[in-house]
Structure 1
Amino acid sequence: MNKGIQYFFASLFFIGLSSNLLGQSCTLSLSGKVEDLHDETPIFGALVSIEGTTFFTQTDASGFYEIRDLCAGTFTLVISHAECNSLEKKINLRGDEIFNFELEHHINELDEIILSDSKLDEISASVKEVRLDKDQIKQNSSQSLAEALSANAGVGVLQTATAITKPMIHGMYGSRVGIVANGIRLRDQEWGADHAPNIDFNAFESIQVVKGAAGLKYGGDTAGGLIVLSPSKKALKESLYGSTTLNVETNGRGSSLTTQLTHTYLKGYYWSAHVTGKRFGDFQAPHYNLSNTGLKEGNLALKIGRTKIVKGWELNYTRYENEAGILRAAHIGNIQDLYTALNSEVPLRINPFTYTIQAPKQRGTHQNLQFSFYKITNSNAKWEWKYSYQVNQRKEFDVRRGSRSELPAIDLKLQSQTVLGSYIWDKGYDWNFEAGINGLLEDNFSNPNTGVKRLIPDYLKYELGTFLVGTYQPSNGFSWDWGIRLDGVFMDAQKYYDQADWQERGYAQLFPRFEVQKFGTQLLTNPRFRFFNWSAQTGVGVSLGSEVESNFAYILSQRAPNPSELFSDGLHHSIAAIEYGNLSLRSETSHKVLLRVSKNSEVFSWNLEPYISKIFDYIFIAPTGLEQTLRGAFPVWSYRSTNVFLTGVDFNSKIAIHRNINIDLAASYTYAQDQVSQNPLILIPPFNTLQRLKYRPQKGNWFFEVTHQVYAKQNRFPNSNFQFNLIEKGVIVSKNVDISESPEGFQKWDAVFSLELKGSNRVKKQLRLIVQNLTNADYRNYLNRMRFYASEVGRNFQIQFTLNY
């Protein structure tokens, strides 16, 4: 009986449960929109289905979908379209839900869009650029930007100390060579010959060098050329990748480390972080220590953004910080010490090796916060806006009494705000145009609490520019590009002059409107300048058969004097010289003609580039004498202007003498003449050549290359020597101070052995053994302003290890 009752109640329970299950109501719904990832337009006809079931629907014209009568649970939703990448999404459904999705629509058109956008990276169709790719950047990761580019014909290095270098293009440097990073001009104290660019080129994937002011989008004042640093393009996929490069070197007993990590997402978001650190002690010449030439550097780059191919944005922050020593022997105490130093084979001060950097030295920090946005409105047009806020802090330390050596003798803070907007459109029939505007506000503060006279005064600088450029490139091998630009430059400065100097230079008669108030022997002035500059460029390119191409370009460039050229007034410690500016300077005007003929073939490729420039009111600095100060005797360099004729030729070639062996040949010659004084122009590179032999086996993961560079003696230089009197054995003797003669020519050998190490599919390893100045040659370089006091760096062994992951 009991068992019967148990069976009865059990039956009732299961019947009730079954009734409940059979009566469960599946009334939930899932809805939302499916849109284009790139432009957020609705996608019609996308199939939305639940994997493993018969539930599915299609989106309507507004991209809307809805699936009804669903039960609660977890399932996989699949969204697909004939012209899209399919998307899967796991969903835990507990009630009515709304889910929106973005598909990568027009997938077949993306390659065309990317290709069209990459054409915009070409600075000029008629002025061809030189490029450094990612692998070349890594190989030169421990060097400076100027040194990394110097192997290219026409590109030189102006040097002030072992670790202080500036790029030079066709004999021009400083304000005539623009540096563009992430589409914005670098705004630092570029006017000084000793001011290396405050930028870490390791954070970029490619570097372009354009010879001449062809990049009117970025300014019309770059008569020498442009150096454009570009980051990598981010892919629309889920990916995490990076690279690390470590360099260890014997000369300077130092090392450098650079590492980068990037994460991209399917929806186009990405972030990237980059860090570089360098630490070197005193460098060594072949026969002695170059005392106080150490280097410390630390750099950071962070960016976040989103790219949807047809539109995107990016927020970018970079910080560059370095400290570089100035050769101790360059600081002398009196005129006789200077004469002795200039005529000595070795530096007058040689101390034991140390990592400590003492005065004289320079310390620089550069920060840049940048936001950019672009939108491709259709296949034929693109809007682009960029804003940048840059802060440059520069301090120079002199050898001073007591503890004052730690007080900077020059303390400059430059704040810059830049806006650049452009519109690019394709009018069809192979015509492309770009128009834009840019604005710049610079505020320079020169700290008066240095205890010495300020070299550069406080000033405000405003720039407003507009440009229009166009390109015609039909499919018959012919191209024509042109451009025009107008810039307004306004400067407002506050500066003290010694009243005697003001009168002696004739400023009292030329600029009485600048005078504000007299304070004893000092005169407070308010110099204000306005400059309006035109720039233009036109050129054609012609294909002469399947392998030969020719380009011709004419470039007009105008550049206003920079603050250093106008206002310098005192001791510039980093180059151990006294500098005087010139308020009478006018905008310089450059007319440049370039011709390029090239042949490209698998066996023999070559490129010949002659050029001619005529520059009116060319501004330059030249030695004009000696001056004794409380801190020692220093050469005096003064800014002046003249008319210059400049011409030259660059040559590059590549020869495949065997399937495993390539030879690179390069040569460069520059001729510059002051047409007013009929003297050669100062600091022009001598004739130089490069030969490189590279062997890479057919089967193997290694290569070996050896490079030989030859620099001739520069026989063309102005005579800037002067006489001074000294007492020898009680007799006054007149001595000639030779600061003009160039050093003898020299040869330099470098070698590289590179081996790809075995690793996983995801991790690539590379080991490089590099030797610089293989023969330990003892030489001095005409383009190094420290050549008066010491030789160049001797042999250096370098081990480089790279991980790509």
Structure 2
Amino acid sequence: MGGIVRCNWVLFSQNLLESISNTMLIHINAGDCLYYQTKLLDVFCHLYLFDYQTLIAHIHALYDFQNITKNFIYKNIKMKKILNLLCFIYASVLLGQTTVSGVVTNGQNQPVNGAQITISKPYTTLTTNNKGYFETTITLEQNATISCSAIHYETQSKKLDMAQQNTIVNFKLTESFFQMDEVVVSTAFQKLQSQNVIKVTHQTTKSMQQKGATTLIEGVASVPGVTQIATGTSIGKPVIRGLSGNRVLVYSQGIRVENQQFGDEHGLGLNDAGIESVEIIKGPASLLYGSDALGGVLYFNPEKMALPKEWKINFNQKWFSNTHGSHSTLGVKTATEKWSFLARASHNSHADYKIPEGQRITNSRYNESDLKAAIGYKHRQLSSVVRYNWNKLDIGLPYFDTENQSLSKKTAFPKQAVTNHLWSINNTLTFTKSVLEFNMGYIANLRNEFEDSDVALLNMKLQTVNYDLKYHLPKIKRNGATQIETIIGIQGMSQTNRNFGEELLIPNAKTVDFGILGTTHIEWNKQVLEGGIRFDNRQIDTENHGPLSEPGSFEALNRRFDSWNFSLGYKTHVNKNLLLRVHLASGFRAPNLAELTSNGIHEGTNRYEIGNAHLKNEQNIQTDLNLEYQSKHFELFVNGFYNGISNFIYISPLGIDIEDAPAFEYTQANSRLLGGEVGVHFHPHPLDWLHFESSFETVNGKLQSGAYLPLIPANRWNNTLKAVLNPNKWFTEGYVFANWQTTFAQHKVHAFETPSNEYSLLNFGFGGKVPLGKSFLNLHLNINNMLNTSYIAHLSRLKTEGIPNIGRNFSVGIDWQF
């Protein structure tokens, strides 16, 4: 084998030196050529070794070779330059590569399957196989760390030595009775949750599915501080601490999702298949995300790629009794050392939902198809992933009709047909001491609304291109303990809206965003200080439509909106059990097209809406206080906030009718919101398998005049009793829980709202994992609204028609991993 390698080397080096000689117009005689080959071979024959010291020694040999032959090289300056360049490239690129591997075991020295391994810089995630093994080859940044987290175990973190080319890091996990410490992707520096200056809530899609959630937004709405504005079971819009619509920004595949989110009946357009988890920032995040992040951010993390040399296939099927619903998902993924690939297809179908009184709500049926695909490439300093998501929704708009009861899943009129295309490319380029991240995305949102025929009266196409460039400057270490990290970046968006139907909600328009930011993270003695500043500009240009004196017309608009924003946070460990966070941040939101230009009947709301072309930016400053106490058997958190918003935009009744519909106009006033969440989690020792969780959330919103803000959720109290079961090797990761949720009456309502009554729901769940040879089956059974309670949620869009929410619903799910 060695002879073959040396023979190939001789041919290669002869060709290389001949090319250099011809290119540089210099002569290399036979004796010199032989000497160069020998010296170069001493260096490059070690390409397949992983011993750092040996490689360094041979790099020095290459420089010795230059010194020995200096008489020749000094006479041939160009030859010297190219050899120096070769040495530099070899040293910086080859030696920058590090193979990190290891094994994760528990206290009984058993391998931990599915543990999440996270490397900080560059941000890399992978999972262990059934032997607890993991391996990846990357270019490490200075002061990189590796962490290991798994359900029911404490998170561990270690520093990595970038000087070692073959690094073995083993983890022996100890049992934990509380939630593992996750790496947060949605924050600037992607630290562990315990190292962040703001509290970010993390929920896996798996945990939301275990609660029996029918849709992605229903699962997200179970998080304290988050609710939804719902239209039946098919359409839901997130509400974070009383703010919704364009005040809550949604990210998926690393790019912002734009889908005409100004409408309450416009859903997310995202399916839970192929989504790993969601991170929720409650409060202004304009420093990182710009306009529309005034109220918070939902950051959906896509499914992870497979490990090198691994094939994974899974099939997921869920059934729902109330709607005769079905969710089917099939996914496949694989990877080599450099390339990775995944594809996932899903289809959801539901009939009309049944209320506790026994009737079905006509046309609450819907169908959804979804396709996700991704290709990844990782080699040396470069990591790149291209993702695509196609989502098609066929949604009926519900109404109450006791004479028209059906189990058909084919939507009737009126209805919506919405198609979304999301393309994204996420790139990370890692240098010796710094990192460059560049993300780009393209989103096409096609919305068609039908009233009584197959001809769409409303036909809109929204196209958005956005980009995000961030540079992580080299870290600075002071006095051995203080660490300073800084990020600078630019973000932008170009968006066009076009109308092709008879009806227009908003005019043809173009929106252009540009933002520039800088933020710094300082860490010392378990304390963290983080701050930053950002400038944003948004330009909106619209077109004329129709005679300006008639209803439904639009006058051309040209507006520019600028805003400066900041963020400042501090985190400290008061003692080994108590953590304190204080955060002060500003945010802004430019008025959307509907607020600026509306002039007609909005069929989704049954009112005539009039825009206001003179609206100003919404601007807010929010203060957050977070306390977390955690011991071995008890956990407590307290989150409090105060949010002052200048120029809050809301719609107000005019007291007249236009075209037989009540007229409303957009206006502005200062406002404030305050509230928070408090929760406990404990288990009575020695019954460590038994867990009790309880949380309470509240928010109060008022205008400067003293009137209540619209669409403020009612107070909610949530209690869960859960047992973790592992009876034998044939049934693992088992659980059974009962959940009691009380939503209190809401009497603090806006002028055009009505009060809501209190109600309580009992939910039940059971599940676990069954090994099947080399594959396994995840099972879960849920009963939601177990007592078949009749209620109408305060934020239900069907409330004005007196239509109750869904009644008792059994669901069964299987997830076969092989």
| TM-score, L = length of structure 2 | 0.76
Once the two structures are superposed, residues 408-439 of structure 1 have per-residue CA deviations (whole angstroms, 9 ceiling, x without a partner) of 22111001111211101243221111111112
Once the two structures are superposed, residues 704-760 of structure 1 have per-residue CA deviations (whole angstroms, 9 ceiling, x without a partner) of 01111111111101233xxxxxxxxxxxxxxxxxxx322211111111110322311
Once the two structures are superposed, residues 78-129 of structure 1 have per-residue CA deviations (whole angstroms, 9 ceiling, x without a partner) of 9443369xxxxxxxxxxxxxxx999994335999992344467251621111
Once the two structures are superposed, residues 579-631 of structure 1 have per-residue CA deviations (whole angstroms, 9 ceiling, x without a partner) of 332212110111110000011222110110010011010012345557475xx
* Deviation at residue 359 of structure 1 after TM alignment: 1.4
Q: Residue in 2 aligned with 1:413?
A: 461
The residue type equivalent to 1:749 in the other structure is L
Q: Residue in 1 aligned with 2:139?
A: none
Are 1:273 and 2:303 counterparts? Answer: no
Q: Residue in 1 aligned with 2:692?
A: 663
* Deviation at residue 200 of structure 1 after TM alignment: 2.2
Q: How does 1:362-441 map to 2 (within 5 A)?
A: 362-378=416-432, 380-399=433-452, 405-429=453-477, 430-441=483-494
Q: 2:766 aligns with which of 729, 746, 753?
A: 753
**Do the aligned residues in 1 keep the contact of 2:96 with 2:380 (CA within 8 Å)?**
no
Q: Residue in 2 aligned with 1:81?
A: 50
Q: Residue in 1 aligned with 2:627?
A: 597
* Deviation at residue 497 of structure 1 after TM alignment: 6.3
CA distance in 2, matches of 1:27, 1:305: 31
Q: Residue in 1 aligned with 2:589?
A: 559
**Do the aligned residues in 2 keep the contact of 1:539 with 1:551 (CA within 8 Å)?**
yes
Residues 32 and 443 of structure 1: CA distance in aligned 2, closer, same or farther (over 3 Å): farther
* Deviation at residue 176 of structure 1 after TM alignment: 1.0
Q: Residue in 2 aligned with 1:703?
A: 735
Q: Residue in 1 aligned with 2:669?
A: 642
Q: Residue in 1 aligned with 2:571?
A: 541
**Do the aligned residues in 2 keep the contact of 1:208 with 1:227 (CA within 8 Å)?**
yes
SS in 2 for 1:216: helix
Range with greater deviation from structure 2 (540-549 or 176-185): 176-185
Residues 444 and 692 of structure 1: CA distance in aligned 2, closer, same or farther (over 3 Å): same
Residues 497 and 566 of structure 1: CA distance in aligned 2, closer, same or farther (over 3 Å): farther
Q: Residue in 2 aligned with 1:479?
A: 528
Over the aligned positions, Cα root-mean-square deviation in angstroms equals: 3.1
Are 1:64 and 2:64 counterparts? Answer: no
**Do the aligned residues in 2 keep the contact of 1:220 with 1:534 (CA within 8 Å)?**
no
**Aligned pairs, how many?**
664
SS in 1 for 2:266: coil
CA distance in 2, matches of 1:624, 1:349: 36
The residue type equivalent to 2:348 in the other structure is K
CA distance in 1, matches of 2:184, 2:714: 35
Q: 2:119 aligns with which of 114, 121, 126?
A: 114
Residues 309 and 158 of structure 1: CA distance in aligned 2, closer, same or farther (over 3 Å): farther
Are 1:492 and 2:541 counterparts? Answer: yes
CA distance in 2, matches of 1:27, 1:500: 84
Q: Residue in 1 aligned with 2:157?
A: none
**Which is strand-richer, 1 or 2?**
1
SS in 1 for 2:409: coil
Bigger radius of gyration, 1 or 2?
1
User: Percent identity, aligned pairs only?
Assistant: 21
* Deviation at residue 769 of structure 1 after TM alignment: 0.7
CA distance in 2, matches of 1:534, 1:455: 31
CA distance in 1, matches of 2:552, 2:416: 29
Q: Residue in 2 aligned with 1:690?
A: 718
CA distance in 1, matches of 2:600, 2:652: 15
Residues 699 and 466 of structure 1: CA distance in aligned 2, closer, same or farther (over 3 Å): same
SS in 2 for 1:30: helix
The residue type equivalent to 1:371 in the other structure is I
Once the two structures are superposed, residues 311-363 of structure 1 have per-residue CA deviations (whole angstroms, 9 ceiling, x without a partner) of 2112221111111111134xxxxxxxxxxxxxxxxx67653332221111111
Q: How does 1:321-400 map to 2 (within 5 A)?
A: 321-329=392-400, 350-378=404-432, 380-399=433-452
**Do the aligned residues in 2 keep the contact of 1:184 with 1:218 (CA within 8 Å)?**
no
Once the two structures are superposed, residues 276-300 of structure 1 have per-residue CA deviations (whole angstroms, 9 ceiling, x without a partner) of 2101111111121100011110011
CA distance in 2, matches of 1:108, 1:358: 56
Residues 542 and 26 of structure 1: CA distance in aligned 2, closer, same or farther (over 3 Å): closer
CA distance in 1, matches of 2:649, 2:792: 26
Q: How does 1:613-632 map to 2 (within 5 A)?
A: 613-625=643-655, 627=657, 629=659
The residue type equivalent to 1:804 in the other structure is Q
SS in 1 for 2:795: coil
CA distance in 2, matches of 1:277, 1:27: 53
Q: Residue in 2 aligned with 1:38?
A: none
Q: Residue in 1 aligned with 2:794?
A: 782
Residues 803 and 593 of structure 1: CA distance in aligned 2, closer, same or farther (over 3 Å): same
CA distance in 1, matches of 2:465, 2:588: 22
* Deviation at residue 535 of structure 1 after TM alignment: 1.6
Are 1:199 and 2:177 counterparts? Answer: no
**Do the aligned residues in 2 keep the contact of 1:255 with 1:278 (CA within 8 Å)?**
yes
Q: How does 1:113-512 map to 2 (within 5 A)?
A: 114-118=119-123, 121=185, 123=187, 125-139=196-210, 143-214=214-285, 216-234=287-305, 237-266=308-337, 268-287=338-357, 288-308=359-379, 310-329=381-400, 350-378=404-432, 380-399=433-452, 405-429=453-477, 430-447=483-500, 449-450=501-502, 453-474=503-524, 476-496=525-545, 499-500=548-549
**Do the aligned residues in 2 keep the contact of 1:556 with 1:590 (CA within 8 Å)?**
yes
* Deviation at residue 162 of structure 1 after TM alignment: 2.4
* Deviation at residue 257 of structure 1 after TM alignment: 1.2
SS in 1 for 2:799: coil
Q: Residue in 2 aligned with 1:44?
A: none
**Do the aligned residues in 1 keep the contact of 2:416 with 2:448 (CA within 8 Å)?**
yes
**Do the aligned residues in 2 keep the contact of 1:145 with 1:167 (CA within 8 Å)?**
no
Structure 1: gaps (5+ residues): 1-24, 35-56, 67-77, 85-99, 330-346, 400-404, 502-520, 721-739
SS in 2 for 1:496: coil
SS in 1 for 2:392: strand
* Deviation at residue 131 of structure 1 after TM alignment: 0.6
**Do the aligned residues in 1 keep the contact of 2:217 with 2:236 (CA within 8 Å)?**
yes
Q: How does 1:603-614 map to 2 (within 5 A)?
A: 603-614=633-644
CA distance in 2, matches of 1:386, 1:265: 23
CA distance in 1, matches of 2:613, 2:702: 24
CA distance in 2, matches of 1:220, 1:523: 27
The residue type equivalent to 2:609 in the other structure is E
**Do the aligned residues in 2 keep the contact of 1:33 with 1:63 (CA within 8 Å)?**
no
Residues 425 and 780 of structure 1: CA distance in aligned 2, closer, same or farther (over 3 Å): same
Q: Residue in 2 aligned with 1:729?
A: none
**Do the aligned residues in 2 keep the contact of 1:138 with 1:245 (CA within 8 Å)?**
no
**Do the aligned residues in 2 keep the contact of 1:58 with 1:65 (CA within 8 Å)?**
no
CA distance in 1, matches of 2:5, 2:721: 76
CA distance in 1, matches of 2:301, 2:379: 19
| TM-score, L = length of structure 1 | 0.77
The residue type equivalent to 1:784 in the other structure is S
Structure 2: gaps (5+ residues): 13-36, 54-89, 104-116, 124-182, 189-195, 478-482
**Do the aligned residues in 2 keep the contact of 1:360 with 1:573 (CA within 8 Å)?**
no
Residues 778 and 82 of structure 1: CA distance in aligned 2, closer, same or farther (over 3 Å): same
Are 1:526 and 2:556 counterparts? Answer: yes
Q: How does 1:11-22 map to 2 (within 5 A)?
A: none
CA distance in 2, matches of 1:202, 1:128: 26
* Deviation at residue 159 of structure 1 after TM alignment: 1.2
Are 1:800 and 2:813 counterparts? Answer: yes
* Deviation at residue 523 of structure 1 after TM alignment: 6.5
* Deviation at residue 695 of structure 1 after TM alignment: 0.9
